[in-house]
Amino acid sequence: MNKVSWILIATLVTMGLPGAASAQEEQESANPLQGVWSVTAMTPDDGAMIEPSQPGLFIFTDGYYSAVYSLGADPRPLSAAAFDPTSEEMIAQHETIIVNTGTYETDGSTITFRPVVAKSPEFIGGHSKMDFQIDEGVLTLTVQSVLSADGEPAPDAPGSSMTLRRLE
């Protein structure tokens, strides 16, 4: 190939071909959940929306997820001595955060999370099912069920929901 051909190919690759989907568009059409999502609002099962919510991120790859988010409207409690919480402070901090990571699969508009690591050991080996809807970069997750490894349902979980905004 001559120098002009290489320059033309490089220019076309850099600019993208007309009508060709970008790598991100192809990825989203294959798996619309894939990417990084920021929690923007939460609605507990009592229906009282918290907006804006405390920080949270969901990261979806092909079949794997990681979720870390704070519960409630108030900022998480700090320790009086940084990085050295009392027992009471640890309990308060533990109660205000959800952490789990593992695998997921979708079936239509239902997503099933299967944690491999979780803040609550009972959740490891269990699963949660949620309805999901994506509309213009906004993901809504509505809880159907959350079950421990031995099939025990989590209290107050069904009906709660959260809204997330796509970051990338």
What pLDDT score was predicted for residue 72? 83
What pLDDT score was predicted for residue 27? 45
pLDDT digits (tens, 9 = 90+) for 98-144: 999 999 999 999 999 999 999 999 999 999 999 999 999 999 999 99
What pLDDT score was predicted for residue 156? 73
What pLDDT score was predicted for residue 16? 41
pLDDT digits (tens, 9 = 90+) for 56-94: 999 999 999 999 999 888 899 999 999 999 999 999 999
What pLDDT score was predicted for residue 22? 52
What pLDDT score was predicted for residue 155? 82
* Domains and their CATH numbers in the chain: 21-166 (2.40.128.280)
For every residue of the chain, which 3-state class applies, written as one string? Answer: CCHHHHHHHHHHHHHCCCCCCCHHHHHHHHCCCCEEEEEEEEECCCCCCECCCCCEEEEECCCEEEEEEECCCCCCCCCCCCCCCCHHHHHHHHCCEEEEEEEEEEECCEEEEEEEEECCHHHCCCEEEEEEEEECCEEEEEEEEEECCCCCECCCCCCCEEEEEECC
pTM: 0.79
pLDDT digits (tens, 9 = 90+) for 13-42: 333 444 444 554 554 468 999 999 999 999
What pLDDT score was predicted for residue 15? 39
What pLDDT score was predicted for residue 49? 87
